[in-house]
A and B are shown apart, each in its own frame.
Chain A
Amino acid sequence: MTRVGRVRSETSAGWRSFVRRRTAVFFTFFFPVILIVIFGALVRTDPGGGGLFAEPPAYYVPGYLAVVVLFTPLSRMGSEVARHREGNRFEKLATTPLTRGEWLLAQTVVNAVIIGLASLLILALVIVLTGAEIAFSPLLVPYILVGVVCFNGIGAMLGSYTDSQDGAIAASNAIGLPLLFLSETFISLEQLPGWFEPLVNLSPLTYFARGVRAATASDAATSTVAGLDPALANLGILTAIAVVVFALGARSIPRTD
């Protein structure tokens, strides 16, 4: 069996396992929807009005997408890795030809499909409920894919270094929530203290948000990166981070006790 065959088998099992958990499927899609309804339709943006949500609706598209691109891999991978550990599944898999990288790749494919579908739903809702005017750039696809790869790697590390499913979910929330709000998603850099900017630059989600905004919001003032198109440059940075984080995530998956 080739590498492709092994990943296909693992992906197929992972996909079936996910779609057969109806509550997991429901809340994966419900969570971003409720967020858009609350912030996009109820709170509403107030462009030029100061305070939070003072930007045009299109500014917040990366934030809404980040809800699934960030949280789904963190929580799903964290709990999946913990579940595998608790059921001695990694002990079993360590004695098969499947490598840790292949296992993580298969989980990434499953998450990419789930998050791709959720992203389509989010984009449709954002346009309908908030009236956001966005450009449908093809770069959205690689941004979502690379984002999933990156946060899947982080989720795998969370699952590997926490001692239970509960611990993995708690850790993913503790890490995910600050990242979601402090990565130029919902809160612009100008609204944060100046000393905080280096920390914002440490977040992989920042490059996702800046790049997606540059690709989708034509009127957004996104600065260039070393003179390069910000949509492409941020994708490059995010890709580099994703490669490193994926490798670290795969390496963190236990093969021995």
Chain B
Amino acid sequence: MEAVVEATDLERTYGETVALAGASLAVERGEIFALIGPNGAGKTTLVRALTGTTEPDAGTARILGEPPTAIDRDRLGVLPQDFSPPDRLSARELLAYYAGLYDDPRDPDDVLADVGLVDAGDTWYEDLSGGQQRRACVGSTLVNDPDALFLDEPTTGIDPAGRRTMWRLIEELAADGTTVVLTTHDMAEAQRLADRVGLLADGSLVARGTPETLVRDHGGSSRLTIETAADVDAFDALEYPVERPERGRSRSGNADGAVVVRGIDPAEIGTVVDFLEGRELEYTKLSWSEPDLEDVYLELADETELERTDRVDEPEDNPDLARAGETA
């Protein structure tokens, strides 16, 4: 298959901060590649390096076989992070403005329809809702019918229905041969949309693959979450691994008062119910789930986060921090 987007050992630092530490990837024609990772992991810098809006300190990037700064701009569509276009143009005028910069643009009204803004076409950008504004911004990347599309957090602020509209649109674009690289904090979005996912942490792609592969390799086992006030020790006699989720790691946000039973088949849930009732352990809710991309994210990104936290928590590992602590 033809690699439309390629990066090899990209490095970029900003002062003391390492934004990219040897990131490499290759995205094929018509593929949707999602970059996920914690804040500050280097996602936006990687997109910028790939699109030529930042110069890497080392490594190479190519789009459609050309360096990013040499590519025919008519074939490229980019949505920067925190993009704020002229705010006193209507959504239609905004798309017409960007369309006017290209050789063979699409009809702005068609693009308005694609992003679901037909009814808001005559509304000034500043008067659109946050989600509508983001849709207009996505529309600005589609006016030239690009071959390579880079979307930095395209659905931030868009409501669930609108997000699904965006997802369908991106899927249709990819089906027509557009190569899409997107960043997202929404794991459901990555799992639904991406052919492959790359998890970026501390400037490096620490894992990449199809969502299914990543889940299989890093997602752990299935989970049965029991909302209960009982102590986790009461579950010691259960024949499955039991854990109380760490604070902040709970999928349902109820780390306090929940116990998770790992690696249990749905057919075996009855065994757990019998166990609870046999020991008169009260519970309010049982929920079972397969591992998914969020588990992968928490597993891999949390390792990095914990390393960072440990570095901060243990100043003796860092002489400068230790001295700062003594002074304080």
Listed in ascending order, the chain A residues whose CB lies under 8 Å from chain B are 1, 5-6, 8-10, 12-13, 16-17, 20-21, 86-89, 91-98, 255-257
Interface size class of B (residues with CB under 8 A): 35 or more
A222 to chain B, nearest CB (A): 43
Given the interface pairs A13-B89, A89-B83, the reply to whether A98 lies near B101 with Cβ below 8 Å is yes
Is the beta-carbon distance between A92 and B78 smaller than 8 angstroms?
yes
**Among A9, A87, A89, which residue has its beta carbon within 8 angstroms of that of B101?**
A9
Is the beta-carbon distance between B81 and A256 smaller than 8 angstroms?
no
* Contact flags B59-89 to A (C-beta < 8 A → 1, else 0): 0000000000000011011111111111111
Q: Which residue of chain B lies nearest to A1 when distances are taken between CB atoms in the complex?
A: B103
- Report chain B residues within 8 Å CB of A1: 100-105
- Report chain A residues within 8 Å CB of B289: none
- Report chain B residues within 8 Å CB of A91: 48, 53, 78, 80, 83
Is the beta-carbon distance between B105 and A255 smaller than 8 angstroms?
no
Given the interface pairs A12-B100, A17-B89, A20-B88, the reply to whether A95 lies near B73 with Cβ below 8 Å is yes
* A94 CA / B104 CA spacing, docked (Å): 18
Given the interface pairs A91-B48, A95-B73, the reply to whether A255 lies near B89 with Cβ below 8 Å is no
* B114: interface (CB < 8 Å): no
Interface of B, helix, strand, loop or mixed by DSSP: loop
Q: Which residue of chain A lies nearest to B86 when distances are taken between CB atoms in the complex?
A: A17
Is the beta-carbon distance between A95 and B76 smaller than 8 angstroms?
yes
Which of A16, A21, A89, A92: most chain B CB closer than 10 A? A92
Given the interface pairs A13-B93, A96-B98, the reply to whether A87 lies near B103 with Cβ below 8 Å is no
Is the beta-carbon distance between B101 and A92 smaller than 8 angstroms?
no
- Report chain A residues within 8 Å CB of B55: 256
Q: Which residue of chain B lies nearest to A13 when distances are taken between CB atoms in the complex?
A: B97
Is the beta-carbon distance between B83 and A13 smaller than 8 angstroms?
no
* B54: interface (CB < 8 Å): yes
Q: A1-B105, A97-B102 are in contact. List 10 more A-B contacts (CB 8 A).
A: A1-B103, A5-B100, A9-B99, A86-B84, A87-B85, A88-B82, A88-B84, A94-B53, A95-B51, A96-B101
* A1 CA / B77 CA spacing, docked (Å): 16
* B52: interface (CB < 8 Å): yes
A77 to chain B, nearest CB (A): 15
- Report chain A residues within 8 Å CB of B104: 1
B71 to chain A, nearest CB (A): 9
A11 to chain B, nearest CB (A): 10
* A239 CA / B54 CA spacing, docked (Å): 34
- Report chain B residues within 8 Å CB of A16: 88-89, 93
Is the beta-carbon distance between A89 and B73 smaller than 8 angstroms?
no
**Among A8, A12, A87, which residue has its beta carbon within 8 angstroms of that of B83?**
A87
* B140: interface (CB < 8 Å): yes
Is the beta-carbon distance between B51 and A10 smaller than 8 angstroms?
no
Is the beta-carbon distance between B48 and A9 smaller than 8 angstroms?
no
- Report chain B residues within 8 Å CB of A93: 101
- Report chain A residues within 8 Å CB of B83: 87-89, 91-92
* Residue contacts A-B, CB under 8 angstroms, 10 given: A9-B97, A9-B99, A9-B101, A12-B100, A13-B93, A17-B88, A87-B83, A92-B78, A95-B76, A97-B73
B89 to chain A, nearest CB (A): 6
B220 to chain A, nearest CB (A): 38
- Report chain B residues within 8 Å CB of A8: 100
**Among B81, B89, B102, B105, which residue has its beta carbon within 8 angstroms of that of A88?**
B81
* A89 CA / B15 CA spacing, docked (Å): 24
Is the beta-carbon distance between A10 and B101 smaller than 8 angstroms?
yes
Is the beta-carbon distance between A95 and B53 smaller than 8 angstroms?
yes
Is the beta-carbon distance between A257 and B48 smaller than 8 angstroms?
yes
Is the beta-carbon distance between A255 and B84 smaller than 8 angstroms?
no
